[in-house]
Chains A and B, each alone.
Chain A
Amino acid sequence: MSEVKNGVNVEALLGAREVLEGAPQAGAFTWRAKCEWKDGTHSHSSVEGYFGFGEEQSHKREFTFDADHPELFAAADNGATPIEYVLVGLASCLTAGIAAVAQHREIQLNSVEATLEGGMDVRGILGMDADIRNGFDGIKVSYKIDADADREDIEALVAQSQKRSAVYDVVSNPTNITVVVE
């Protein structure tokens, strides 16, 4: 057994891979979120249940998120802006991936810090110029990592984490979205 302790149970993940090899249909997960409008641009979202391994599953408890816009936009600033949640999602996904890959490669992490920046021209969302997109014109992620490994191995961790990240995939690839009114 390795001495490396990043707190990721790699054996369990590899075990899940083995199970799914024999029962690929169990790999079909559905993630869910609920969102309720409060007032102005303020909304309150929550996640709790999801579907996976062939049955309904649940987090240990409900997690909630307030989203709003800053006072600069004449809003009440009751929470992070939705686009900041995207950065949070990307950062936490990549960081979790780094820990998992490090554990698998038996690299001890001492500290991992990410700083994210997403550039955006708000004239897009204000509908002022059809040539300006609503979303980010790019995202920059900078990692500061202290680990018991050389620089190349650390860079390889970060690269592999991007390759296996769900949020990185969603953000970097087009995804079909269906929005209906019930």
Chain B
Amino acid sequence: MSRCLSARAIDHVLLERGAVANSWRTERWDSLRLLTPNWQSRLPDFGYEGDDPDGYRNMPETIAFLDKYAQVIEAPVQTETAVTSLRCNDNGYQVGTDQGDWHCRTVVLATGACNIPTIPKIADAVPSGIAQLTPNNYRNPDQLAEGGVLVVGAAATGTQLADEIHRSGRPVTLSVGAHIRVPRVYRGRDIEWWMDASGLHDELYSEIEDIVRVRRVPSFQLTGSDERKTLDINALSAIGVKLVGRFAGIHDGKAQFAGSLRNMCNMSDLKMNRLLKTFDEWAEESGMDGEVDPSHRLEATGVEDAPPLGLDLTSGEIKTVIWATGYRPDYSWLELELLDRKGQIKHDGGVVTEAPGMYLLGMQFLRRRKSALIDGAGDDARDLCGHLAGYLANGNIL
């Protein structure tokens, strides 16, 4: 957005609570790598120029990438400045920070969708002897006590942590709810290549029938690794991770899991096959069929006949519970009534509906399927910057 604003000579400032790429510096586990390949982080006037386009950046590389971009575009970043309030004033908005106030006619909220880990209420009933962590404060397996770990959630985060922790010698039980299974590499190309090339990533929010539901769909079950491995439920079962259903409750110190595990996995397989079929059809229509490997399907997700429905949390078997159950944004500083009943800012493709001159960026399917990716920021920023410039030019004052 800063690059787009500069290109239009719109005076602006970026407020950053820490250093550039703060959440990548402070809220990620050690081994995490981007789920998107290097070539895919395309920002306005900036992209990947190294010799490993198909690799996945680790955290230091991701931080360096964003740092360099901030330098290259000469982004006017004011670091170590935490926003503490946002309210309306006569000419627009007043932004309170721990370094003084700012007044502006327009404001862009690019604080993201993943500020606070969502932890279900049942966490309160976990026996006190068991450590509880979230992806925000988990760093590596050495931080955990020896012994069993219950990982709750099987999207990208839950599956990656289950894999790493189980390999560290701490037996993992993975609680699996709704999840989106995809192969890392399909017909010889990265799944993200397919999403990009087939145009799926560019699908607009206005073209989606039930955008509210689609915005809540969990992340692709993906990991970034040198081997470009697929990390699905089958891969986890193969190393000995134990599967249970969705974490439904705790009664007398005993964890209860839903009996829906088979359907969750079936559903995921069906959705994946539908997606792969879409790719196959696109490859045929676009004449790409000869450029990629032959079509194939993955083995159905294996689930044992009678997965355990309970797990005694008082037996000492489980030492740690990790809640990989998603995130929500933090709007504690927002002093305006802009949230829907689910705590999300009401917006139309990033244009905040009830606050003229206010914009939202970096949210799930904000304007297009790729909106939450680094690769989606550019197109969204260009669109919204155009709207913002129009708003300023028309002289609309609140």
Interface residues of A (CB under 8 A from B): 24, 137-138, 152, 155-156, 159-160, 162-163, 168, 171-174
Contacts and interface: CB of A to CB of B under 8 A. Distances in A.
B81 interface: no
Interface in B231-275: 245-246, 248-249, 251, 256, 258-260, 263, 266-267, 270, 273-274
B245 A172 contact: yes
A105 to B, nearest CB: 11
B7 interface: no
A156 B341 contact: no
A137 to B, nearest CB: 7
Interface string B305-318: 11000000000000
B273 A172 contact: no
Interface residues of B, number: 19
Contacts of A159: 263, 266-267, 270
Nearest to B266: A159
A168 B264 CA distance: 13
B248 A152 contact: no
Interface of B: 178, 245-246, 248-249, 251, 256, 258-260, 263, 266-267, 270, 273-274, 305-306, 341
B260 A168 contact: yes
A173 B248 contact: yes
A40 B246 CA distance: 40
Residue in A24, A160, A168, A174 with the greatest tally of chain B CB atoms within 10 Å: A174
A133 to B, nearest CB: 10
B266 A152 contact: no
A163 B265 CA distance: 12
B248 A162 contact: no
A155 B266 contact: yes
B270 A174 contact: no
Chain A CB within 10 Å — which of B245, B256, B266 has the most? B266
A68 B273 CA distance: 46
A-B CB proximity, top 8 nearest: A172-B259, A159-B267, A162-B263, A173-B248, A174-B249, A174-B256, A172-B260, A156-B270
B306 A174 contact: no
A171 B248 CA distance: 12
Contacts of B263: 159, 162-163
A138 B260 CA distance: 11
A173 B241 CA distance: 22
Contact of B251 (A24, A155, A156, A174): A174
B124 to A, nearest CB: 15
6 contacts: A138-B306, A152-B273, A156-B267, A156-B270, A172-B258, A173-B249
A24 B270 contact: no
